[in-house]
A and B are shown apart, each in its own frame.
Chain A
C-alpha cells in the first residue's frame, strides 16, 4: 500500500502517480479539502481518502474504487464512467453530475442537483437529496433512502429515480410511476451493492412523462387546406 500525505505532496504529484498506476492500493491522508483529488483515475486501483475533499473528487473516474472517509464538496465523481466511488459523509451540490456509468454511493446527504444530467450512472444516497436532483437526468438510477427536496427530476429523460421518503415537489415533466418487479430487482441490487440497508418495497418511482420530448407545433393552414378552406 502506498500513502500520499497531501500536507507534503502536491496535487500534481498525487494525480500523476495515480494515473501512472495500473493496479495497487493507495491511501491519501490530510486531504484538507483539496480539489480534484484522485481525478481522472483510469485503472483498477483502490484508493482511500482519509478526510474531507473539495470540488471534483474522483472526477471522470474509471475502473477503480475511491472511498472517501469524510465529506465532499461540489461535483463528487462528476462524469464518472465506471468503477465505484463511495463516500461515508455528505456531498454538496452536483454529486454524480453527467456521470455515464459505475456506482456512486453517498452514505450521508447529497446537496442540490444530485445526479444532474446523469447519463447511465447508478447513484445511491443514504440520506436526503437537495432541490433539482435528477435535473435533465438522461439514463441510470438515482436511489434516495431519505427525502427529496423540491423540483425532483425536472425535465428528466429516461433515468429512473427511486425515493423512500417524502418528495417535496416534482419538477417539470416528472411524474410518479408504478414500481414493477424489474424495479424492485434493480433496487435490491443497488441497495445491496451500496452496502446500505433498506426495503425495496418502501420506495416510490419517478420518471419522465415525455411531454417535453418534442415541440408542440400547430399548423392551422394545413388543417384548413385539408378541410378545403382557405390556406
Chain B
C-alpha cells in the first residue's frame, strides 16, 4: 500500500464530487434520490444531557413513573389526538411506499400507541384500516384529496413544506406511477410526477387562517389541525402558523428524508434540526402557547431516544420519524446485500427510493418486491423500535429527575461545540457561555 501514498484525494473535488460531475455530464439531468441530507451537519449529537447530581435529584430508572403522553388539540377539537408516546410517524405516501410498508407503519404505530400520517396521494382504505390514529396530510397537489377521507382522519396536517425540500414540491417518478397510483392522483400512468410547491387556493398566513377555518368547518371541529413547515425560517413560520390557528406546528429540519427530490435541494436548502427547534420554541414562548395550546413536533434526522430527549429538552412536545421508521421495518437490510450490489449500491448506502426497485419491498410499487415485506413482521419491528426510543427517552428524563418527558428543559443540556451552543442556545459544556446570548 505504501506506493499509494502518492495519491491524494482533493478536498474540493473528492470522489463523490467527481462522480456527480461525470453523472451530470452523461445524463443532462440533476440527481434525484431519496433519503435526507447525507453531508456532515450539526446534529443533536453535538449536545449532551446533564444528568442529576448534588443539585438535582434523579428518579429511579425502572420504578418511578415518567409520563410520555401527548395530547394535541384539546382546546379546539371534539376529538383531540391522544398519543401514548412522544414519537409519531411522519407523512409518507402510498405510491412512494408500497401498501405493505404503509401497513407496517400503521401496525407498528398502533402497537406503540402513536399516530401515522398519509402523504402526497391521499388515503388508502388499507392505511385507514391499519392506523388507529391517522393524520391526513393536506398538500399543495391535493392528489386524492376528498372530504370523505378528510372526515375519516384523526387530525389534518396542512403541509407547507418539508425538511428535505423547503420551497419544493413532491416528486414521484414514472416507475412508481402504476395504474392504482395514477388513478388515486388523477394523473396519466407512468409520468414523472412533479407536485405543486405551493397551495392552489391560499398564498400566505392570512389566507391560511381562513383555510384552517374552512377545514374545521368541513370536519365540524372534530379533529386538530397541524401545520408542517420545512425548517428555513422556523421562528417566523411557527409564529405565523400559530397566528393561523394551528393546534400543532411540525418543524422538519434539513436531515428530514424524502422519497424523491433533487440532491441539490436535499443537501443545500433548509437548516439543521438542532437549529430549528429553539427558534420555533422562541416563537411559541413569545406567543404564550409553549407547552400549552399549541404543540411543537420536531422532525428531521431523529434516530434514538437521545435525539428524542434532547428535542424535548429544547422544547418540542413530540418528534416525528420517517427515515428511521423505514430502516426499522427493513430498509437497507444487509440480508438484501446482493440485490443492493446489483443496483450499484450496498446495504447502508442505498437511497434510490425514487427508482421503484427497492430490494426490501418498501419504496416500490412492484408487486414481487413489495411481497418481500411482511407487514406483520414490519409492524412488530417498528413497534419494538418505538418502544426503545420511548424507553431511552425515559431513561434520560429520569436521570434528569423528570416525572414526565415534557419536564425536560434546556437547562438539562450542554453543547459540545461552539456551533451547537449557538444554534441550540444552551451553554458550551463546562462554561456558562451561549454564543450570541451570554
Q: Mark B197-209, 1 if CB is under 8 A from A, else 0.
A: 0001110000100
Number of B residues, CB within 8 Å of A: 33
The answer, yes or no, to whether A28 is at the interface (CB within 8 Å) is no
Number of A residues, CB within 8 Å of B: 46
Task: For A100, list chain B residues within 8 Å (CB).
Answer: 146, 186
Contact across chains for A98 and B200 when beta carbons are under 8 A apart:
yes
CB distance from B115 to the nearest CB of A (A): 23
A39 to B150, CA, bound (A): 13
Contact across chains for A98 and B201 when beta carbons are under 8 A apart:
yes
| A81-B146, A100-B186, A117-B142 known; A55-B217 Cβ under 8 A | no
| A216-B29, A218-B27 known; A12-B217 Cβ under 8 A | yes
- In chain B, what residue has the closest Cβ to A80? B147
Contact across chains for B214 and A55 when beta carbons are under 8 A apart:
yes
| A42-B147, A81-B147, A221-B26 known; A60-B218 Cβ under 8 A | yes
| A78-B201, A213-B191 known; A219-B27 Cβ under 8 A | yes
Task: For A215, list chain B residues within 8 Å (CB).
Answer: 29, 192
Q: Mark A83-127, 1 if CB is under 8 A from B, else 0.
A: 000000000011001101000000000000100110110000000
Task: For B213, list chain A residues within 8 Å (CB).
Answer: 11, 35-36
CB < 8 Å neighbour of B196 from A39, A117, A214:
A117
A86 to B372, CA, bound (A): 51
CB < 8 Å neighbour of A94 from B26, B188, B200:
B200
| A98-B142, A117-B141 known; A62-B147 Cβ under 8 A | yes
Q: Mark B218-256, 1 if CB is under 8 A from A, else 0.
A: 111100000000000000000000000000000000000
Q: Which of A49-73 contact B (CB under 8 A)?
A: 54-56, 59-60, 62
Contact across chains for B196 and A59 when beta carbons are under 8 A apart:
no
Contact across chains for A213 and B202 when beta carbons are under 8 A apart:
no
The answer, yes or no, to whether A206 is at the interface (CB within 8 Å) is no
Task: For A138, list chain B residues within 8 Å (CB).
Answer: 186-187
Task: For A113, list chain B residues within 8 Å (CB).
Answer: 200
The answer, yes or no, to whether B174 is at the interface (CB within 8 Å) is yes
Q: Could you write out 22 A-B pairs with CB less than 8 Å apart?
A: A12-B221, A15-B217, A15-B218, A15-B220, A42-B147, A42-B148, A54-B210, A55-B214, A56-B201, A60-B150, A60-B218, A79-B147, A94-B200, A97-B142, A98-B142, A100-B146, A117-B141, A157-B187, A214-B191, A214-B192, A215-B29, A219-B27
Other A-B pairs, 18, CB within 8 Å; known A12-B217, A119-B142: A11-B213, A19-B220, A36-B213, A40-B147, A40-B218, A75-B214, A94-B201, A97-B142, A97-B201, A98-B200, A116-B200, A119-B186, A139-B186, A157-B187, A215-B29, A216-B28, A217-B28, A217-B29
9 smallest CB-CB distances across A and B, nearest first, come from A40-B218, A75-B201, A60-B147, A98-B142, A94-B201, A218-B28, A36-B214, A56-B214, A116-B200
